[in-house]
Structure 1
Amino acid sequence: MASTLFKTIKGLVRQNKEAITFWLLPLFLAFVFQAYGFGLNRILPRNFVENSAILVIIISFSLIFKGKWQYLFQFFGYFIFVINNLFESIYYYLFKANISASSIFILLETNLAEAREFVEFYLNPFIVLMIISYLILFVYYFLKRPVFSLPKFHKYQTLLYFLGILIPLSLMIYRGFQQYNFLYLSVSSVFEYVEEQKKMQQYNIDKPISDIDGFKLKQSVDTATYVLIIGESTTRRRMSVYGYKRKTTPFLDSLKSDLWLYEDVISSHAHTIGALKDALTLNSLSGDKDFSIIQMMNQAGFKTFWLSNQRPIGQYESLVTLIARSSDKYITKNTASDGTITPYDEVLLPAFKKALNHNAAKKFIVLHPLGTHLLYSDRYPEKFNTFDGKSPSNFDHPQAHQRSNAYDNAVLYHDFFLKQVFKEIAKIDHSSYILYFSDHGDEVYESIDFSGHAEENPTKAMLEIPFFIWMNDRFKRDFSTQYLPKNPYNLKNFIHTFSELNAIQFDSLDLTKSIFTKQSSTLKRRAFKNKFYEDLP
């Protein structure tokens, strides 16, 4: 009996030798690439099992059909299988972490210009080798077109094929292996993304006025100009105003004595959407009564402006765009939707000056520049190419030095941009302030051999952000609170700080969550995925 079964299996293998070889090649090729790029760890064998289960499911599904349908399902299944393994291998190599739903969300919120910069930033010979290897494999498969088939050997054979789908699928779900599959995460994340978009529309976050329970002004001003600048991907570790050895922020250095400079502020996420969803709304859009800081300022009687160098993204409006659209005037200067180079941030200055000159008595202006977003070298003009050669990077190789230098140059240009903004505000004699923070930071070869931000492999530098306030004398006379420069703070509570700064009250206001109130230095600060900032490298 065993001998007969062995002979039967051997015959089937011989009959399908070419097809089996083609299906196993991308599986083992992915294992080799991922082992090289990601290292041998507990995720690697789990991903191998998951990919093997997907292979069995695709083949079993195709065997339910006959003739050309069997070939078509195997052909498209092979294409999907190859793409899945390629993307997983590239992701593991780049980020040294498992793919997550948040990664797919970020991909969905990306325009072509950002995609071009991402590819240009991370593309290297090894990734090219992976792409070419899988491309050759698929082309060769297309030319040979082998079909895996089985002869009729049992009257319930079709039932066995269904079991070949259900058993691996059940085991994947039971063991949680589906979380390692790029295609599963892509499909589920798209549905989740669409649902999130529907929820955002329900919150009316893009409407000028929201129903804010208990809203009132603790004190009012007749004339005021307040400015909020939201930086992008700027870690305070690379700013000389925070002690970095290179003089990357000469203007802020000169202004330091006039700033309320906070030394221990972190973001709640290492990507823009998550960070600003927390910072700019009351409860991260988790309840029907949620609202944004723009809606607060509208209700406080301010003329609101949102001036952005970041383009609206994707088929749906992103959360940040929806918040921006609730302002009286929303202007974006970035039209690089086709992959062309985005404009430098000084493109915002004419619109900023125009907003300052608006005849409204009270103005609130948000500036949302590109800051130090990768591709770092695209963020500044040639004349700011100051830092070169060997950088202060903790990793000594050409790529680390090149990217570190480019990042420092981007910070230098960002400092120049801030200088132009401050010059205009300094001309104002009525009550005014400038509040600045970055949405999140970037890892630039400090703790790990990597540049960029990825919540799957987080570091402290990805969360450590600059946060400072400049107030003119007129504003200071009316604003009396304590300055606590070393106060440990999480940006997710920003709306409480913002409310206190603007003398706004509402029922859900909690001043114990304001940066102007002493925060606990012993409690760990929770960031994404139940990780704590203090535990990160």
Structure 2
Amino acid sequence: MKMKFLNFIWKKIENIFENDFLVLMQITLLNFIPYGISKYFFNKYAERPLYQKILKFLLGEIEFFIFCLGIMIILSLFKEKIKNIILKIIVCISYFTFIVDILLLKNFGALMNAGFFQILLETNQKEGFEFLKMYFNFKIVILMIFLIALNYLIIKIFNRKIDINKFFKIKSFKIIFIIYIIYSIFDFKGMKILSIKRFYTAINGAYTNVKEYKDIGEKFKDNKLTIISNDSKIKNIILVIGESTTRNHMSLYDYSLETNPLLEKINEKNLYKFTDTISPHSHTIAVIKKLMTFYNLESEKEWYKNNNLIDVMKKSGYTTYWFSNQESSGVNGNVAVALGEQSDEIVFSAYRDSDTEIISNYDEEIVNKSVKYIEKENRNFIIYHLMGTHGSYRHRYPKEFNIFENDSNERIGEYDNAVLYNDYVIDKIISNFKDEDSIILYVSDHGEEVYDFRDFAGHAETNISRYMVEIPFLVYTSDRFIENYPEKVESIKNSVNKPYMTDDLIHTILDIADIKTSEFDETRSIINKNFNDKRKRVISGKDYDTELKNKN
């Protein structure tokens, strides 16, 4: 019985190689080439030697070839007419997705993803056409020529009958080959390469993401926002949200390596370092919900039922901007995107979802990109949402910032290099606003443990440590700001050593801006004379001051 089954499968394989070998190679090459380029030349293998990239690419293509062969064996069980229709559909879609993938790789360094399709879903017909025109103009003609040439080569090389038995003269080899084909089908690795599957996943993800954060936006509209007083005159208020940066690896906070050479050069009358600030959580989504709204540790209602900072600033006469180097969609990005969508202008460095590995999209790119959007004559509230020192650490900085090495653990050196680059980015933002009436607040969403006292790097509330929540909080005041608001500067200066948790950041920003809403609480503003410095700071059920601070 087993031999009959194996012989039956082998006959199917023989028939595919004799009659459908061209189709097999079209599906394999059109689907794998973009995926292989992305994986082995753009992402985690980007810094490997060329021969390793090519070897990985070829091995991956062989593995995918076997998977595609398995799919064609399954399709051969259908009637010939139905099988041919399905194969033609797969080939046609493969050509289409090949074009889309290659153009996305060229323009955004990513394959088809929900973030790209989300842009098309959110814009009107005219805006969608302009977006496509911007990135898919004459390049599409060049790509079509390339595709025609590629198709010609595929047909020229592979449009022939192949006698598979020439390569498998020993029966046991045939059995091993069949077993591997069956394994490759049920292993499902090939499915993530198959462009039809990726196309469906991206479209479905785009619809889901748009619906999810649009729903959040609709819930924001249900909130009643009451501005009690608005005496704000500050020209530029900038909030920089970092990522996974612990102050324990910053020389500004007495770390042994010089990871903040630029920030340390700034005059102490302009830059204020808060020494005892922590995040309310050790992961981004939970922090952003509290950082950007009146939602805090003591809140009883859902986070979206609290008013958010952007809506407050808009209603107070500020032009609001959200500049992000983080994902533009996905399970990890929808909360931030929903908040960003409340802004007058939301701009991403690239369009990608949470599942897209982030390589070589450095934070300075979004800083540079932001300049052309900011209206100089307006009062501006600007948010930069950076990648900061998020893992993988070595992908957070250009090679010229590869300065520090750690003999005992290379990842520590990579993290310190990421902190060094973050210093450069923050300084760059400061340079852009230092000649105007500006105040810049920099805070990391949460911290990071980097082998500080145990064999662990990362952040997880189930395994919480002080390193995961001890974050930098810096306030930069320009010379013009100091001249215009000396009493505010004095309040900031007198507050730098107070204990603080950033779920109250919205109160501090509004206090600085001289904006009061019905939710504003002066006891939660660290610069206010009535600030409550006795408030308990609890993370994951633990009292930071008694259970985590000064431990390990």
Decide: shared fold, TM above 0.5.
yes
In the superposition, relative to structure 1, how do residues 292 and 342 fare at CA in structure 2: closer, same or farther (>3 Å)? farther
Partner of 2:418: 410
In the superposition, relative to structure 1, how do residues 256 and 407 fare at CA in structure 2: closer, same or farther (>3 Å)? farther
Q: CA RMSD in A?
A: 3.0
Measured against aligned partners, the alpha-carbon deviations of 1:434-474 in whole angstroms (never above 9, x if no partner) come to 11100000001113321110110000010011001111233
Return the offset for 1:317: 6.0
The answer to whether structure 1 residue 472 and structure 2 residue 472 are counterparts is no
In the superposition, relative to structure 1, how do residues 535 and 340 fare at CA in structure 2: closer, same or farther (>3 Å)? closer
Return the offset for 1:198: 6.7
- Alpha-carbon distance in structure 1 between the residues aligned to 2:487 and 2:342: 30
The counterpart of 1:450, out of the listed 449, 456, 474, is 456
What secondary structure sits across from 2:380 in the alignment? strand
What secondary structure sits across from 1:204 in the alignment? helix
- Alpha-carbon distance in structure 2 between the residues aligned to 1:325 and 1:376: 28
Partner of 2:285: 273
Cα pair 2:393 2:411 within 8 Å, conserved: yes
- Alpha-carbon distance in structure 2 between the residues aligned to 1:310 and 1:478: 34
TM-score if structure 2 supplies the norm length?
0.56
What secondary structure sits across from 1:403 in the alignment? helix
Partner of 1:313: 329
What secondary structure sits across from 1:436 in the alignment? strand
Cα pair 1:205 1:291 within 8 Å, conserved: no
The counterpart of 1:385, out of the listed 402, 416, 421, is 402
Return the offset for 1:320: 1.1
- Alpha-carbon distance in structure 2 between the residues aligned to 1:473 and 1:331: 29
Partner of 2:66: none
Partner of 1:247: 258
Partner of 2:373: 355
In the superposition, relative to structure 1, how do residues 525 and 384 fare at CA in structure 2: closer, same or farther (>3 Å)? same
In the superposition, relative to structure 1, how do residues 278 and 316 fare at CA in structure 2: closer, same or farther (>3 Å)? closer
Q: How does 1:198-347 map to 2 (within 5 A)?
A: 201=215, 204=218, 211-217=224-230, 219-221=231-233, 224-255=235-266, 257=268, 258-283=270-295, 286=302, 290-314=306-330, 318-337=334-353, 338-339=356-357, 341-347=359-365
- Alpha-carbon distance in structure 2 between the residues aligned to 1:233 and 1:287: 22
In the superposition, relative to structure 1, how do residues 510 and 479 fare at CA in structure 2: closer, same or farther (>3 Å)? farther
What secondary structure sits across from 1:250 in the alignment? coil
Aligned length: 335
Cα pair 1:215 1:505 within 8 Å, conserved: yes
Cα pair 1:345 1:370 within 8 Å, conserved: yes
Partner of 1:463: 469
- Alpha-carbon distance in structure 2 between the residues aligned to 1:405 and 1:527: 28
Q: Supply the AA of the counterpart residue of 1:352.
A: S
In the superposition, relative to structure 1, how do residues 265 and 205 fare at CA in structure 2: closer, same or farther (>3 Å)? farther
Q: Supply the AA of the counterpart residue of 1:480.
A: E
- Alpha-carbon distance in structure 2 between the residues aligned to 1:198 and 1:348: 25
- Alpha-carbon distance in structure 2 between the residues aligned to 1:444 and 1:353: 34
Overall identity of the aligned pairs, in %: 32
What secondary structure sits across from 1:354 in the alignment? coil
Return the offset for 1:497: 0.6
Partner of 1:485: 496
Q: Supply the AA of the counterpart residue of 1:204.
A: E
Q: Supply the AA of the counterpart residue of 2:272.
A: W
- Alpha-carbon distance in structure 1 between the residues aligned to 2:376 and 2:532: 43
Measured against aligned partners, the alpha-carbon deviations of 1:226-263 in whole angstroms (never above 9, x if no partner) come to 21110000001111111111000011111151212100
In the superposition, relative to structure 1, how do residues 443 and 329 fare at CA in structure 2: closer, same or farther (>3 Å)? same
Q: Supply the AA of the counterpart residue of 1:371.
A: G
Cα pair 1:211 1:289 within 8 Å, conserved: no
- Alpha-carbon distance in structure 1 between the residues aligned to 2:495 and 2:403: 34
Return the offset for 1:378: 0.3
- Spell out structure 1 runs of 4+ moving beyond 6 A: 197-200
The answer to whether structure 1 residue 369 and structure 2 residue 390 are counterparts is no
Cα pair 1:205 1:292 within 8 Å, conserved: no
What secondary structure sits across from 2:369 in the alignment? helix
Cα pair 1:310 1:369 within 8 Å, conserved: yes
- Alpha-carbon distance in structure 2 between the residues aligned to 1:111 and 1:527: 33
Return the offset for 1:202: 5.5
Structure 1: runs of 5+ lacking an equivalent: 1-109, 113-138, 144-193, 391-397
Cα pair 1:262 1:485 within 8 Å, conserved: yes
In the superposition, relative to structure 1, how do residues 277 and 111 fare at CA in structure 2: closer, same or farther (>3 Å)? farther
Partner of 2:186: none
Cα pair 2:406 2:412 within 8 Å, conserved: no
Partner of 2:34: none
Return the offset for 1:214: 4.1
- Alpha-carbon distance in structure 1 between the residues aligned to 2:537 and 2:114: 32
- Alpha-carbon distance in structure 1 between the residues aligned to 2:249 and 2:523: 30
Partner of 2:59: none
Return the offset for 1:494: 1.0
Q: Supply the AA of the counterpart residue of 2:444.
A: S
- Alpha-carbon distance in structure 2 between the residues aligned to 1:530 and 1:246: 31
Q: Supply the AA of the counterpart residue of 2:487.
A: S
In the superposition, relative to structure 1, how do residues 287 and 379 fare at CA in structure 2: closer, same or farther (>3 Å)? closer
Measured against aligned partners, the alpha-carbon deviations of 1:394-435 in whole angstroms (never above 9, x if no partner) come to xxxx4xx2111000000001111112111111233xx21111
Return the offset for 1:220: 3.4
- Alpha-carbon distance in structure 1 between the residues aligned to 2:358 and 2:467: 29
- Alpha-carbon distance in structure 2 between the residues aligned to 1:329 and 1:348: 13
- Alpha-carbon distance in structure 1 between the residues aligned to 2:213 and 2:329: 18
Partner of 2:512: 501
The answer to whether structure 1 residue 426 and structure 2 residue 437 are counterparts is no
TM-score if structure 1 supplies the norm length?
0.57
- Alpha-carbon distance in structure 1 between the residues aligned to 2:511 and 2:426: 24
Cα pair 2:276 2:499 within 8 Å, conserved: yes
- Alpha-carbon distance in structure 2 between the residues aligned to 1:317 and 1:406: 25
